[in-house]
Amino acid sequence: MFRVKQILRGEKDAFIEASRLKEGMKILDCTLGLASDAIVASLVTGRRGAVVGVESSRAISFVVKNGLQVWESNSKEMNDAMRRIDVVHENHYDFLKKQHDNSFDVVYFDPMFESTISSPGIQGLKSSADYGVLTDTIIKEAKRVASERVVMKDNKSSTKFNDLGFSVIKRNASFLYGVIE
């Protein structure tokens, strides 16, 4: 919630900067999880934008899809942002293959990290999470679908950035963002 308050006040956010999100953009979150980044994306892209979140875990997609529709925060803007997110239960590669070229401005991945960062919010759902590895084939599809960029968040010690061709955005944190334009 702290992060959302910062965004509503117009403060900087590393995910927004890495994705270069603006009002009206269309973003595909291929690893929705608990939708924290999707909510941020929906706040930024607004009513004219679109956020689609793909989650391969049936349990997580069910909980998150319903939660986004019924959870009441203290902010109308946040409630509206949550309601605008379209949650799809599917494997992200299968979903990407069905999309037209350049059908989203940004395609985003936040895969399970190679090494763990403590996050109390996901502890209870870890057994339902998808631990599949991102591959060159998946990234190739993401590049085809993204008209502007593909963004990936991962642990700062991850080898995936280099292995998959991402340019890393340097920051002083336990995780980094990489981009392919």
Give the residue extent of every domain in the chain.
21-165
What mean pLDDT comes out for the span 52-79? 94
In 3D space, the residue among 156, 157, 177 whose CA is nearest the CA of residue 167 turns out to be 177
pLDDT score, position 122: 47
pLDDT score, position 44: 94
In 3D space, the residue among 48, 30, 47, 44 whose CA is nearest the CA of residue 83 turns out to be 47
Tokens 């070229």 belong to 101
Q: How confident is the model at residue 52 (pLDDT cuts 50, 70, 90)?
A: very high
Cβ-contact 3, 40 below 8 angstroms: yes
Q: Is the pLDDT of residue 30 over 80?
A: yes
Q: Is the pLDDT of residue 160 over 60?
A: yes
Per-residue H/E/C for 66-107: HHHHHCCCCCHHHHHHHHHEEEEECCHHHHHHCCCCCCEEEE
Q: Give the whole-angstrom CA distance, residue 144 versus residue 164.
A: 15
Point out which residues pair with 87 in neighbouring strands.
53
For domain 21-165, give the fold.
Rossmann fold (3.40.50)
**20 C-beta neighbours (distance < 10 Å), count:** 14
In 3D space, the residue among 66, 57, 64 whose CA is nearest the CA of residue 38 turns out to be 64
> Which percentage of the chain shows pLDDT scores above 90?
72
